Amino acid sequence: MLELIWFVVIAVALIGEAVSPMLVSIWFAGGAIVGLVAALVGAPLWLQIVLFLAVSAALLAVTRPLAKKYVTSRTQATNLDRIVGTEGRVTEAIDNSRGEGCVYVDGKSWTARSESGEPLPEGETVEILRIEGVKVIVRPKAAAEVK
């Protein structure tokens, strides 16, 4: 009977891993295999459970960092990332509370928001800090030079 339970645990862990690419349950399948082997040789239930937990934890601790490094997709930089850290010019006054503002940078006009929330007047030189969706987050160039 215990062998059947270990087969179910193995199946559930493998199915869980198949539907989730997050490397969550594969480690428990390895522990369950050890628990199954222990059940087949007649080990007591408490030992099977201890072996299951110990092997699952060991597999998780040793292999998960390596697996995440090679399995997860790597972030690819895009040509838009090149504007981060560059200067732009405010072409429409930036007012976060009203959802208004545009910046001209690298030959294109971007919807912009101020990092601090302070309004920025038209004509101000700003530093592009990051891109969030279709908006650039900026701060005044004078503030960037102080920091």
Q: How far apart are CA 110 and CA 104, in angstroms?
A: 6
Determine if the pTM surpasses 0.85.
Answer: no
Q: Which fold has domain 79-146?
A: OB fold (Dihydrolipoamide Acetyltransferase, E2P) (2.40.50)
Domain residue spans of the chain: 2-71, 79-146
What tens-digit pLDDT sequence spans the chain (147 residues)? 889 999 999 999 999 888 876 677 888 999 999 999 999 999 999 999 999 999 999 988 888 777 767 665 555 566 667 888 899 999 999 999 898 999 999 888 999 999 988 999 999 999 999 988 889 999 998 755 555
- The pLDDT, as a whole number, for residue 42 is 93
Check: CB of residue 48 under 8 Å from CB of residue 35. Answer: yes
**Residues 117/123/125/126 CA torsion (nearest 10 deg):** 30
